[in-house]
Structure 1
Amino acid sequence: MSNNSTNTGRVIRLDPQDNVVVAPNEIPVDTFIASEHVTTLHKVPAGHKIATRLIRKGEPVLKYNTVIGFAGEDTPPGSWMHSHNILFDDFERDYAFSKNYQPVDLLPPEQRATFQGFVREDGRVGTRNYVGIFVVGNCGATVARKISDHFTQERLAEYTNINGVVPFIHELGCGMEMTGEPMDLLRRTISGYIRNPNTAAALVIALGCERNNIHGFFEQMGLEESDKLKKLVIQDTGGTRKTIEKGIEAVEAMLPLANRYQRETVSAEHICIGMQCGGSDGFSGLSANPALGAAVDILVRHGGTAILSETTEIFGVEHTLTARAVTPAVGQKLVDCIHWWLKYNEGRDCQINGRVSPGNNAGGLANVLEKSLGGAKKGGNAPLMEVYKYAEPVKEHGLVFMDTPGYDPVSATGQIAGGANLVTFTTGRGSCFGSFPAPCIKLASNTPMYTRMEEDMDINCGVVIDGEKTIQQMGQVIFEKILRVASGEESKSEALGVGENEFAPWPIGVLA
């Protein structure tokens, strides 16, 4: 919650200018709320909103003193406010490019936090040490998976510095557009994973006749075979069985080389987190998202990097980011992304056109404007330093934005391809997401869900709603957890073995 918010126990007021408050728990009809001097006219579910004064038809509904829609009818004080009486509509926004930009007050290098990371030859630092098995197209998927399956925990026991041998399987690579963004995007994504600092060595598999030709892929992306990067073509090697055998031999030769990397003390400036939110609810924007934003502000002061994404889920509040962009040109890049998505989704029943998922809606989010308001808070208050295309290498430190869909596996895949060596994931309804090679930390927005899904949740941010911690205190907890996981502490998704099937490149373009 913001510095202006108040939690009376009965309701949460996020800003003095708001005309709605949020129910932390279910509130029965005819309940008098003394702090707001209103009596509820309906039963209000937990995480949902209550009108605190008469809101005339067409008048903006304000949460965090930000427009989340317009009253569909005259709504008296005490009304339950949700998608049945909050209308979604676009409205003029002042982008105020760079008007609120403030440079980060970076801590001196000697005062920055540290973690135990794997330092690569080019200076990049990993939080994990994986050998990856990649495919340029789905035709090589089974071979890649069987090579990976050979390397059980028992067979890797002597390689104590290696986290695993993991296949990265996808459904693309053939029957797709060769020119323009679709093929470029796929190749950026695969090469980005190969180059991710958490990948110590890689084997790339091809059938041999894919449109995503393995040799053309290597040439375009500037990849060269070495003792830690090999390629195999099934049609040239002699078929499935022989390629599996050759692949196992290739990985066995890489393992001693990858095992030479050892953790050493490095600055937190080498941490790059990809930020995701999925299964959001009415509490996500009050606890987990702003608490992660507070952690991001800390990380950025220590020289680290945080990638905000899910372009369709910042629609309606993009002006809060453009106003603190480092330059107007960076702010305009974000606006251009929004306009592309509006055109791309024109006339379709998609989130950016107003309708959130059934789970989001049941959790208290009336529309995408309200969802975006909460989602953008993951970025904290840091200045926006750059805007990147999907899977483009992230080179700028600080808070940056990557243009991705709102679908979490696809979005996180782009961030990891861009260089994220750790992922943070906020959720209100619950999530079972995990990711390789970047470990995923999941943050619960409310205590009941955390208790119900504790095996999947790393941190309970619901204590903010419960009044036990402030946003800033929670941010410090998250930052310290980021340092521990970056240093090798196992996240809940890693303990469950989740992440092998979440490699999901954006399937943009025509498939034929």
Structure 2
Amino acid sequence: MKVHPADNVLVALTDLKPGEEVTYQGIAYQPTEFIPAKHKFAINSIPAGAEIMMYGVLVGKAQFNIAAGGLLSTANVKHAANSFFSEGHQYHWHQPDITKFRYKTFNGFHREDGSVGTANYWLIVPMVFCENRNVEVLQEALIKPLGYGRKKSYELKAQNLIDKIRAGGSMEEILYTEIEPHTTASASTKVFPNIDGIKFLNHTGGCGGIRQDSITLCGLLAGYITHPNVAGATVLSLGCQNAQVSILEEEIKKRSPGFNKPLYVLDQQKTGTEEDMLDKAIRQTLAGLIQANQNIRKPAPLSNLTIGLECGGSDGFSGISANPAIGYTSDLLVSLGGTVILSEFPELCGVEQNIVDRCIDPVDAERFTDLIRTYSQRAEEAGSGFDMNPSPGNIKDGLITDAIKSAGAAKKGGTSPVVDVLDYPEKVTKPGLNLLCTPGNDVESTTAEVGSGANIVLFTTGLGTPTGNPIAPVVKIASNTTLYKRMNDIIDINTGTIIEGEETIEQAGERILEYVIKVASGEIEISAVKHGQDDFIPWKRGVSL
């Protein structure tokens, strides 16, 4: 497959043997060496120093002469990307046909500020890492009695093996003897049927480091507390930490001036004994849950959806199947008046000018270039750089330069104009495509997107990852059918159908939006929610790729 007419490489959709003749658009090609599926080979000979084009952009330069049909690898290709400027060009957007979705709705939880949640959670939040143990005590005290225990339990399986050890079982028996499969524990009935769960945002921040870290953390926590998927929160403070409750309250007012959700704040140094504080925390949380349980799902237009766009464990197919598919989903939602968030700034390397050209406001174009240049400079000052972004798994599966990875990753943002550029952890306020400065790190970026307002996240992967979020459904989308079948317990949707020619990118994008509507309505429980995959890692604004 050739991704763009200007490309001088082809992508192998299956393993290709040396000398095996393959035809693309009537032209025959002969690989000179083994080309693994997802990797690229040269259409014509590429001399040393010459540019390598993919997705229509510069993605690298040849370190040595590459023969026609030769495999592109880290041995013969080095990272290279186009330069960019803050001045944009005139941009025309062709909106997709939204007839099929124009009058569709989802059933969500309506908040007084006009936002609509796709879920209804209660939060328990520590202001500082010193309170993490008290948060864990509350988790132990509340989760199972309220009926929010994990549905799958491996405890029985482990107990069976431990019993064998007690009976003198050998290492071979423990490793290889078949035992009864773990059973599905019958979860007790939820006390509060309209509340999806209580979530605990443990973290390692709040004190030490620099004061800006604590201010940023308070902004992120405020984003979660004011989030449409959250009904209320219990906050535990030690009292002396850098992340003061007063800073959190200021950040909440920034995001929600009329904030009126139940919010209980307990200061351990003021309260006295741990027992007194935890007693109050349990009583106040239960009282808040009674109030929160009164909210029920009601119809809402799709314009109330805010979707975060994320990728992780990407492969050589991500940029030609899963990413452009959710890019089309993104364009559909924008056309319907909804909101999408594209983040992971290190993974926009090489396509910056395209992003600049799509900015409606020149001020946003300037802000984007400033943010990404500053980010790149800090990475270089730390002895790294965006060129070091691809992981070993990315490289093994065909993403051999950051520019190749980024050009494919940017497809998640579709083709719609950019309406706003935000710096972490700012809140999204404008419908349309928003850019949010975050690392490429999966969990840090997903954590940030939800903190900025995403009430659902579409997460593409080619290698497989269980990543989830405490309060927003993270829908996992496979770029290839092999992954979908192999890890079907953590993957929700397959777009390998595009690679196999069974459907177009547009058809897959529409299918994904249909799925999103069901998830947003509580009709489908996605894999990450089933497994209790509550990943939460605040970004400290240090260099993280």
Question: Normalized against structure 2, the TM-score is what?
Answer: 0.87
Contact 1:177–1:509 at 8 Å: present in 2 too? no
Alignment of 1:357-376 (within 5 A): 357-376=391-410
Contact 2:93–2:415 at 8 Å: present in 1 too? no
User: C-alpha displacement at 1:349, in angstroms?
Assistant: 5.2
Give 2:139's aligned residue: 148
Q: Greater CA deviation, 25-34 or 442-451?
A: 25-34
Of structures 1 and 2, the larger Rg is shown by 2
Supply the distance in 2 between the matched residues of 1:251 and 1:355 (Cα, whole angstroms).
Answer: 42
- Secondary structure at 2:69's aligned position in 1? coil
Q: Greater CA deviation, 37-46 or 437-446?
A: 37-46
**Letter aligned with residue 455 of structure 1:** D
Give 2:179's aligned residue: none
- Secondary structure at 2:210's aligned position in 1? coil
Supply the distance in 1 between the matched residues of 2:5 and 2:243 (Cα, whole angstroms).
Answer: 56
1:242 to 2:242 alignment: no
- Secondary structure at 1:187's aligned position in 2? helix
- Secondary structure at 1:412's aligned position in 2? helix
Give 1:122's aligned residue: 113
Give 2:172's aligned residue: none
Alignment of 1:483-498 (within 5 A): 483-488=517-522, 489-498=524-533
Supply the distance in 2 between the matched residues of 1:149 and 1:269 (Cα, whole angstroms).
Answer: 38
Give 1:202's aligned residue: 233
User: C-alpha displacement at 1:30, in angstroms?
Assistant: 1.8
Give 1:318's aligned residue: 352
Contact 1:276–1:408 at 8 Å: present in 2 too? yes
- Secondary structure at 1:81's aligned position in 2? coil
Give 2:200's aligned residue: 167
Supply the distance in 2 between the matched residues of 1:480 and 1:351 (Cα, whole angstroms).
Answer: 39
User: C-alpha displacement at 1:20, in angstroms?
Assistant: 0.6
**Letter aligned with residue 503 of structure 1:** F
Q: Greater CA deviation, 318-327 or 386-395?
A: 318-327
- Secondary structure at 2:514's aligned position in 1? helix
CA, structure 1 residues 65+227, in 2 after alignment: closer, same or farther (shift >3 Å)? closer
CA, structure 1 residues 448+221, in 2 after alignment: closer, same or farther (shift >3 Å)? same
RMSD: 2.1
User: C-alpha displacement at 1:167, in angstroms?
Assistant: 0.6
Q: 1:96-126 CA deviation, whole Å, 9 max, x = no partner?
A: 5152144868969993421000001111110
Give 2:21's aligned residue: 32
Q: 1:26-52 CA deviation, whole Å, 9 max, x = no partner?
A: 112221123342211111111000111
Give 1:7's aligned residue: none
- Specify every segment of 5 or more residues in structure 1 that has no aligned partner in the other structure, as ranges: 1-11
User: C-alpha displacement at 1:418, in angstroms?
Assistant: 0.9
Give 2:4's aligned residue: 15
Contact 1:176–1:509 at 8 Å: present in 2 too? no
- Secondary structure at 1:80's aligned position in 2? coil
Question: Normalized against structure 1, the TM-score is what?
Answer: 0.92
Give 1:330's aligned residue: 364
Supply the distance in 1 between the matched residues of 2:519 and 2:106 (Cα, whole angstroms).
Answer: 9
Supply the distance in 2 between the matched residues of 1:123 and 1:283 (Cα, whole angstroms).
Answer: 39
Alignment of 1:71-470 (within 5 A): 71-93=62-84, 97-102=88-93, 111-156=102-147, 157-178=190-211, 181-219=212-250, 221-222=252-253, 228-348=262-382, 350=384, 352-470=386-504
Supply the distance in 2 between the matched residues of 1:308 and 1:300 (Cα, whole angstroms).
Answer: 13
Q: 1:133-166 CA deviation, whole Å, 9 max, x = no partner?
A: 0111111111122213322355241311100011
Supply the distance in 1 between the matched residues of 2:317 and 2:506 (Cα, whole angstroms).
Answer: 16
User: C-alpha displacement at 1:508, in angstroms?
Assistant: 2.5
Contact 1:98–1:325 at 8 Å: present in 2 too? no
**Letter aligned with residue 249 of structure 2:** F
User: C-alpha displacement at 1:354, in angstroms?
Assistant: 4.0
CA, structure 1 residues 46+145, in 2 after alignment: closer, same or farther (shift >3 Å)? same
Supply the distance in 1 between the matched residues of 2:542 and 2:78 (Cα, whole angstroms).
Answer: 32
Contact 1:227–1:254 at 8 Å: present in 2 too? no
Contact 1:443–1:460 at 8 Å: present in 2 too? yes
Q: Greater CA deviation, 191-200 or 69-78?
A: 69-78
User: C-alpha displacement at 1:475, in angstroms?
Assistant: 0.3
Give 2:178's aligned residue: none
- Secondary structure at 2:91's aligned position in 1? coil
User: C-alpha displacement at 1:220, in angstroms?
Assistant: 5.3
Q: Greater CA deviation, 321-330 or 277-286?
A: 321-330
Q: Greater CA deviation, 143-152 or 474-483?
A: 143-152
CA, structure 1 residues 125+427, in 2 after alignment: closer, same or farther (shift >3 Å)? same
Supply the distance in 1 between the matched residues of 2:349 and 2:143 (Cα, whole angstroms).
Answer: 44
Match of 1:473 among 507, 517, 533: 507
**Letter aligned with residue 233 of structure 1:** D
**Letter aligned with residue 203 of structure 2:** H
**Letter aligned with residue 272 of structure 1:** T
- Secondary structure at 2:503's aligned position in 1? coil
Supply the distance in 2 between the matched residues of 1:198 and 1:503 (Cα, whole angstroms).
Answer: 15
Supply the distance in 1 between the matched residues of 2:357 and 2:294 (Cα, whole angstroms).
Answer: 46
Supply the distance in 1 between the matched residues of 2:383 and 2:406 (Cα, whole angstroms).
Answer: 17
Supply the distance in 2 between the matched residues of 1:103 and 1:16 (Cα, whole angstroms).
Answer: 20
- Secondary structure at 1:285's aligned position in 2? helix
Identity of aligned residues (%): 35
- Secondary structure at 2:108's aligned position in 1? strand
- Secondary structure at 2:425's aligned position in 1? coil
